[in-house]
Structure 1
Amino acid sequence: MNKTIAQKQFYLNVHFFENEKRESNAQFKSVSGLTVHIDVENLVKNPEKEFKHFFPSRTRFPNLILKGVLLKDLKVIEWCKKAIDQYQFSPTDLKVKLVNGKKESVLAWNIIRAYPVKWTVKKQIEKENSLAIDTMELAYNYFKLV
């Protein structure tokens, strides 16, 4: 019975630096911000008749919010520190995967040109040279569902 329950559980893997030779990954408790908004512009054809035409204009993507992880990869930690502490941004591609209990990818999103804009660190674990991250917020250009 426990095996059946374990197979139904899902988790989120985030693969950092997808466009580089050495990628890093981390398992987060939650991911939000995988949303697209299409702005609409209106054109008033004849102001006296109050008739408007609505047209789609541009797409907007809110920040990606990653919550709950123990980051052990120094490359990801340094990437965040450079952006937040030194204002040095290195946009990179990410892949967010929803994985089932059988370790099969159910859904995946390619996040294009992401960079950190905010993070909340719970604590640093000296022995493991890692950080417990409560929240990591990333701005990005757009995403594609894979």
Structure 2
Amino acid sequence: MVAYYPPLGFYYKVEFGISQMSNDVRFQTVSGLTVEYDYESFKEGGENRFEHKLPVRTKYADLVLKRGMLTDSSVIKWFIDAFRDRTFEPASVNVILMNEKSEPLRTWKVAHAIPKKWQVSDFNANESAVVIETMELTYRYFTVQS
């Protein structure tokens, strides 16, 4: 009998529907695959021990992606178009966790993503650090596929 081992979180890729470039799938970190419910409280007359809490809607955190800066990237062109020209073209984004055989273990399909924030790390002549660009996306929802 083989024991189950949880997957490791370092082998993944991020696919953008707007890019076919091989470098646009590589990111140092991915965060924000979070969903939670907003709740509404209702107080019942005569019942003072508790409130009823009912789920109202789901809300999703922003997707934050970090990587070493690329000088040629379709994703960055998409960000620049949004911030410079105010052209917001929604894109699909797939975050794919893979196993040691490069097979997908789980895929998070992010729907209707648009740029929210783009940040480039500080430049410092006293350090020899890689320039990191941080991309923040807002989106409607995600689905999970195994």
**TM-score over 0.5 for the pair:** yes
Residue in 2 that maps onto 1:87: 86
Give runs of aligned pairs for residues 52-131 of structure 1, distance below 5 A: 52-71=51-70, 74-122=73-121
Unaligned runs of 5+ in 2: 1-7, 123-130
What is the Cα deviation at residue 133 of structure 1? 4.5
Taking structure 1 as reference, are residues 107 and 77 closer, same or farther at Cα in structure 2, changes over 3 Å only?
Answer: same
Taking structure 1 as reference, are residues 72 and 105 closer, same or farther at Cα in structure 2, changes over 3 Å only?
Answer: farther
SS of 1:49's equivalent?
Answer: coil
Unaligned runs of 5+ in 1: 1-7, 124-131
Residue in 2 that maps onto 1:11: 11
Residue in 1 that maps onto 2:27: 28
Taking structure 1 as reference, are residues 122 and 96 closer, same or farther at Cα in structure 2, changes over 3 Å only?
Answer: same
TM-score normalised according to structure 1 size: 0.75
The amino acid across from 1:83 in the alignment is: A
Taking structure 1 as reference, are residues 104 and 91 closer, same or farther at Cα in structure 2, changes over 3 Å only?
Answer: same
Between 28-37 and 132-141, the greater mean CA deviation after superposition: 132-141
Q: Distance in 1 between matches of 2:67 and 2:25?
A: 10
Once the two structures are superposed, residues 1-44 of structure 1 have per-residue CA deviations (whole angstroms, 9 ceiling, x without a partner) of: xxxxxxx7832211101xx7x64541111110000010111111
Is the Cα–Cα contact under 8 Å of residues 30 and 66 in structure 2 kept in the other structure? yes
Once the two structures are superposed, residues 51-88 of structure 1 have per-residue CA deviations (whole angstroms, 9 ceiling, x without a partner) of: 42111110000100011244465422211101122222
Query: Which of 47, 50, 61 does residue 49 from structure 1 map onto?
Result: 47
Is the Cα–Cα contact under 8 Å of residues 61 and 142 in structure 1 kept in the other structure? yes
The amino acid across from 2:16 in the alignment is: F
SS of 1:59's equivalent?
Answer: strand
Taking structure 1 as reference, are residues 94 and 73 closer, same or farther at Cα in structure 2, changes over 3 Å only?
Answer: farther
Aligned residues: 127
Q: Higher helix share goes to which structure?
A: 1
